[in-house]
Structure formats: structure tokens, C-alpha cells
Amino acid sequence: MAHVTLVGNLRQFADGIGELEVEATNIRQLFAKLSERFPALAPHLEDGMAVAIDGEIYQEALFQTIKDDAVVHILPAIPGG
């Protein structure tokens, strides 16, 4: 299972939970599972989040693979180009 950290104000939409373990093979699946567990979080994930997987940041991450022991941080999208 991946170790997932919700960064910033995302915790308030996840019942105050900032860290949890989730079984998912890619970010899209991870977002679906988080949305199912925390419906208030779903619209924020749909708005576009940046994701760091094992320290590498992805802006367009939906199909990025997650290894079983990955460390995933979900954070607000990073503006700019």
C-alpha cells in the first residue's frame, strides 16, 4: 500500500486525516478511492492537484504508476509554466 499525505488545507476535507495508507496502482485509482472515502475531498481532487511520488512532482499525474511501497503527497497545483 502507498503511504499518502494530504498537504495543506486538504486535510479539512478528509475528516482531519493527514496521512493514510491506500492500495492503488495509479493516481487516478488513488483519487477515486480517496473520493469514495471522503466525498468532501472529491471536488478538490477533480480541480487538479500536483502529486509527488517518491519525491518527484507531477502536475498531470492521473496515469502515473504507484509502486506498492510508494510515498505519495497530494498538494495544490503549482502555478506557472
Please state, in angstroms and rounded to a whole number, the distance separating the CA atoms of residues 55 and 5: 12
- The answer to whether residue 81 scores a pLDDT higher than 60 is no
Q: Strand pairing of 56-58 and 71-76?
A: unpaired
Q: H or E element: which one contains 37?
A: helix 27-37
Whether the CA torsion 43, 49, 55, 56 is positive or negative: it is positive
What domains can be seen in the chain, in order of their start residue? Answer: 2-76 (3.10.20.30)
pTM over 0.95: no
pLDDT tens digits, one per residue of 31-74:
999 999 999 999 998 777 889 999 999 877 888 999 999 999 99
- Locate 77 and state its grid cell: 497545483
pLDDT of residue 61: 82
Q: Strand pairing of 71-76 and 2-6?
A: parallel
